[in-house]
Structure 1
Amino acid sequence: MIPTPDISHLTAKDYDSIYEPAEDTFLLLDALEAEEQALKDSKPSICLEVGSGSGCVSTFLTKIVHPAVYICTDINPRACVATRSTGRQNKIELDVCNASFALPFRQRLKNSIDVIVFNPPYVPTSFEEAQFAQDNQHLEGAWAGGLDGMHVTNTFLSDVKDLLSDKGRFYLAALKQNNVSEIQTRMLEEHGLRSKVVLERRAGREYLYILCFQHSKAL
């Protein structure tokens, strides 16, 4: 069993401005562990986490995939600081970029990223609430997902195909209300990415999924 990263350096004050690891985080860790052998077999060299928050997920990923370049982006500058400090707390160096999605890497790393992880803001809210949270880099931006919880997720999904390498895997956290089967169908029909449900679990009132997408030719 792969140990959960040490995040004891993060305080209640940190969690006033960044997303505290919760059930969705730990389900994502369990899913990555379930995929451990497949990930190792694919020998990834570049990994990207979009919206890294505390840095817990990327730090965990380094225990499975190594050596590699670990890139983490977050629109919240305080999350970037937390991500970097979590890596160092666990004796890992993460390359952290204060940016929206993978915007700085769209061209430089086109079709070059072997593992992408995204735990998006997926809770259904008003469009205005989600947009305000993103624009102002508020903590709410870590969970406020707009209509159907898909406002932020949809913005990134169209970029995935062009970022993934031929052997690449994209791991996405989703809520039942996000209409998981529709996400899978759309990614296949529009982008040629096949998918599977790696894990699913009820967490209180939420029912969560971790999906894995790959190029059709990689399956």
Structure 2
Amino acid sequence: MKKFKRTELTPEQLTEAKRLKEIYSQRKAEAKARGDRLTQEDIAEACGWTGQSAVSQYMNGRIALNLDALVKLSRALSFDPIDVSKRLARHIPQPNQRNVEIAGQPSNTYRYPVVNWVAAGSWAEAVEPYEPGGASEYMETTYRVPGGEAFWLEVRGDSMTSPAGPSIPEGAMILVVTQIDAQPGDLVVAKLEDSQEATFKKLVEDGGQRYLKPLNPSYPLIKINGNCRLVGVVKQAVQTF
């Protein structure tokens, strides 16, 4: 089998790779500060590539950047192409050229279905009951859910409305993530064995015993003794005034 020698990158191309890697590191740190996570696999997916190999090779100077890759990476990582490669950026059409529409930077938003309380109660048995685009309603968020399995619920009642401290009133929309383990202190959606619907409470633990605690002190604690199943952890709440 004939072997091909890898083409050595020029000093300019190596500098481009270094700039790209620095931008990725900065975006990764920004995501971590938000409590989010950014990986090379995420970037590859945003660029429409299979696997993260190409991302790694571009950033580590194994292969030289080309114009198509630069444009895709600039959108995925939200940077101006000229900040990485002047030699390639000069070939990108400018806004004043006729018949050219300049695409805006991505908003990095994610869409998840809105479900009702009855559906939420059985969500653990059917985490994704909708085909992509099959739900009747979706909501967007900048929060990226690990695994992509989540849904929105509209809060019912005032059991999570607190007179002091964190409070999530009736009508607020909550984002429920189904594929992470709930820990004491998390807000959770659970299904009680005597109900076909979901309930929204705070998971607490006292002396090794777990409870579902409403934020509204007018409501009682619910002792967890095999009588409920945790459907998911609430990671975001949105209130419309």
Give the TM-score band, short-chain normalised.
under 0.3
TM-score by length of 1: 0.24
Asked which structure has the greater CA Rg, the reply is 2
Q: What TM-score results when the alignment is normalised by the length of structure 2?
A: 0.22
More helix by share: 1
